[in-house]
Chains A and B, each alone.
Chain A
């Protein structure tokens, strides 16, 4: 095997793909940038250590679902009533001066019911982030689309938070799929080794 890399410390020759000098153990100038570790499905998780590493990363991504759902639940509980007040003020303005509009109790039920639903999804996500993320995404987008039909201006309010929540949920879903695929391969590999 022809040596290609010369160690800057001890001048010994090393193979092209060596990261450390085989003579003195010091690091060789590397070609690949030492950046943050990016885990993709292309990196073959062949050893149990590598697999655990990737599973860890995936679990962290799946946990994003829990965070997103909790954010939604808290915001819904906190700002839901505010949104009702805004709608009440708008309706009173439309109705004319001196008008007083009632907020139906059922509106509060729906607003807080939704907050409770997202809290429930948050709890579920701690056990099953994949399924909870899917339902959370469906509920979140459906509710906000329906809101937008009733009051298009509402869509723009807090649009950044809404986008972040959606992105987190989608990432959690993708991570869940990867996690499952990893598990499947583990089982298959385990079965292949007799």
Chain B
């Protein structure tokens, strides 16, 4: 308890002229009349009693805000990597640059994400240490079929109402001589691992430290959606992001999400390879 609790009194010091006990009629802190025999009025006494309290360090992005700052920094550095690729491709007429730029940006973004994963190892590693129940892997693969169908539907619908050219992921890589292995590595494996590490690993875990888990899933899914920079893909990207976030939380592991992501992208590549004959549209 601090000084000035109700009922306590300060004895007058010897030899010094000061307001005597009887003459102390007002609270020294706020000037209101105080109770007899009290040094402070009740309100101020309460406040003074709380003088000894937990030291509060200032809120800065170096302490409590660290997960948010780290997540946002990763997002914007990742975005910068993609934008540099876009700028390079926009500034040249050479179509053949598409594949090497894609390769380099994929490598650079992978390094960035791995660096951030290492930096936030405390938050990210639990998702890598756990594998979740075995049932989740076939479930993830089947789930990917559904997400693929929804994504294809949205893309087909957009194609119907606009005359935008269809985006194909494998053609320019094959033309550059990367082969189907290269396509699978760049289109299926790298995004599955790196985007899961980034959005469900670093970002989701970091956000979950400062907000409710449900909110963290939504926020990380929205960031996942926006980073693809394709407004027309927003609907299915958001849906997939929410599913992946939920899987990470529910299974405790990043791996089922990686499987879903890999199979989804794999189905896109499969469809490009074998044509859309097996789809109803």
Give the distance in Å from the alpha carbon of A113 to the alpha carbon of B233 in the complex.
12
Whether B279 is near chain A, meaning CB under 8 Å from some CB there, is no
Whether A50 is near chain B, meaning CB under 8 Å from some CB there, is yes
Q: Quick check: B29 and A18 within 8 Å, CB to CB? A: yes
Q: Quick check: A110 and B83 within 8 Å, CB to CB? A: no
Q: Quick check: B223 and A135 within 8 Å, CB to CB? A: yes
The residue that A138 contacts in the complex, of B72, B218, B232, with Cβ under 8 A, is B72
- With A13-B16, A106-B162, A138-B75 as given contacts, are A25 and B54 in contact (CB-CB < 8 Å)? no
Chain A neighbourhood of B59, CB < 8 A? 41, 174, 177-178, 181
Quick one: closest A residue to B87, CB to CB? A149
Q: Quick check: B68 and A145 within 8 Å, CB to CB? A: no
Whether B226 is near chain A, meaning CB under 8 Å from some CB there, is yes
Whether A141 is near chain B, meaning CB under 8 Å from some CB there, is yes
- With A128-B215, A141-B76 as given contacts, are A50 and B222 in contact (CB-CB < 8 Å)? no
The residue that A142 contacts in the complex, of B28, B47, B207, B226, with Cβ under 8 A, is B226
Chain A neighbourhood of B105, CB < 8 A? none
Whether B134 is near chain A, meaning CB under 8 Å from some CB there, is no
Chain A neighbourhood of B65, CB < 8 A? 173-174, 177
Q: Quick check: B18 and A12 within 8 Å, CB to CB? A: yes
Chain B neighbourhood of A87, CB < 8 A? none
New A-B contacts (12) at CB < 8 Å, excluding given A41-B58, A178-B59 = A20-B28, A25-B31, A41-B59, A44-B50, A46-B50, A47-B46, A50-B50, A106-B161, A110-B232, A114-B231, A178-B64, A180-B211
Show 16 residue pairs from A and B whose CB-CB distance is below 8 angstroms, ordered by the A residue. Answer: A2-B13, A20-B26, A20-B29, A20-B30, A41-B56, A47-B47, A50-B47, A105-B161, A106-B232, A114-B231, A128-B215, A130-B215, A131-B215, A135-B219, A138-B223, A142-B226
The 10 closest A-B pairs by CB, nearest first: A46-B50, A20-B31, A18-B28, A25-B26, A3-B18, A44-B53, A13-B18, A22-B24, A106-B162, A12-B19
